[in-house]
Amino acid sequence: MAKDNKSLRVKYPDLSDEQIAELEEVFSKARTALKEIEIFDQEKVDRLIRTVAWSVANKKTFEELVAFGIKETGLGDPVSRMNKRFKIRGVLRDALRQKSVGIVEEIPEKGIVKYGKPAGIIASLIPTTNPDLTPAGTAINAIKARDVVIFSPHPRSKQTTNKTVELMREALRKEGVNPDVLQCLKGNPNKAMSMAVAAEADLVMATGGQNVVRRVYTAGTPAYGVGAGNSSMVIDETADIKEAARNTMLSKTSDFGSGCSADGNLVIEASIFDKMVKELQNVGGYLANEKEKEALKKVMWDENGKRLADTVAIAATQLAKIAGFEIPEDRKFIMVMGDGIGEEHLFSHEKLTTLLALYKYKGFEQAMEMVREIFEVGGKGHSCGIYSFNDEHIHLHAMNAPVSRIMVRQPNSKANAGSFTNGMPMTSSLGCGTWGGNIISENVSLKHYMNFTWVSKPIPEDRPSDEELFGEFYDPALEQ
């Protein structure tokens, strides 16, 4: 993988001389660090992920990172963003409970033994909405797998990501480990540079907007990407309305709705619709009138239907103010009545802020049809949920929805990437399957940072008869 500046210059003509020099430097250091970490034993890497995680996830430090990140980007809520440090604890929990060195799995009945091996040099593209959480989670899994990482920060939040990575590098230094196991681009992390890093790496972890993910797929390097969200929650007649309203508020307001898992659409059964709206108001929702809804539409999307950045991930009061009206200071999110589902109905698109759309259905089949229609607009493959105690409804929803994960009676944005009260793997990267243009339909976790060697030993013959295999189609005369 060694390259000289001249060959890199030919390969990446859009990079400046400074970027070429940085590219050469970070990969040279990464290759050196990889040779060192790939021989570490299980005890060593487990110790390292603990110190690296603590360097970021302790309350004092994470509070500083949150404040720094919000000041740098202008995005997010300082109160709810603090809770993301618990996600780091969850990623650490999952990693500590798994093996990554030597034998990691045995299947005696099949004669199979699996050995864990490093994936190599990972290029990690960091979103502006999680400039601290995503690097920490990536570092835990990468070090556990004995990989090295080059982080490519989002230009809008590059100082926060660099600060986060430097904290983790210092933790490695204190353990006598080469800090270049983790590096972060310090120059200009523009599109051309992120593409070059992705192309030179062994594996790419691309967490961010769809333009970023799609672009990285063209680099020619194996990549795990994420899909767009448009989270929709079905609330049927058996739902606990207070629970559903409270969880909706928690999911919608977390970090001002910046996450792709935040509730965007509520599909509510007609007989409980008014009660549900009232309870949503009780927990902090503001129901916009038609005039206010039109004003909100104009500040959230341009005339071509493109989402406007100025109203992404902001408080409900600020969103209303930008739209030209005032709401009470205690209102945490805004609701609008859904006026239809489809490309031309902008409120059925992903919101990425403290606003959600309400839809009414009669009969569960109509709810399922509405869910399918919403995901045709956007967010296919990502996630949705249901508030119900009717197992048949839950089953029908799971059979119907083209998504990779469905949360039952849980705040979606706090649950589908893993929580301490469900069994989903903890992550900040959500694979959305072929629906969302991704290779996996599960949460990105430790196993995706590793290669595996399968050792196979002979077992007693396991060959069904042709009659068993082909059933009624088997014709022994054709085998003569």
Beta strands in 239-281 (DSSP E): 265-269
| Cα 211 from Cα 228, distance rounded (Å) | 10
Whole-number Cα distances in Å, 283 to 293, 331, 332, 334: 20, 8, 8, 11
Q: How many residues does the chain have?
A: 480
Between CA 250 and CA 29 the distance in angstroms is 43
Active site residue 260: yes
Cα separation, 410 vs 419, in Å, equals 10
Q: How far is CA 7 from the centre of its chain?
A: 35
Please, is 10 exposed, middle or buried when counting C-beta atoms within 10 Å of its C-beta (0-12, 13-18, 19+)? exposed
184, 260, 384, 432: which one is catalytic? 260
The 3-state secondary structure of 273-305 reads: HHHHHHHHHHCCEEECCHHHHHHHHHHHECCCC
Cβ(113)–Cβ(455) below 8 Å: yes
CA separation (Å) from 220 to 183, 200, 437? 22, 9, 15
Q: Which sequence positions are flagged as catalytic?
A: 260
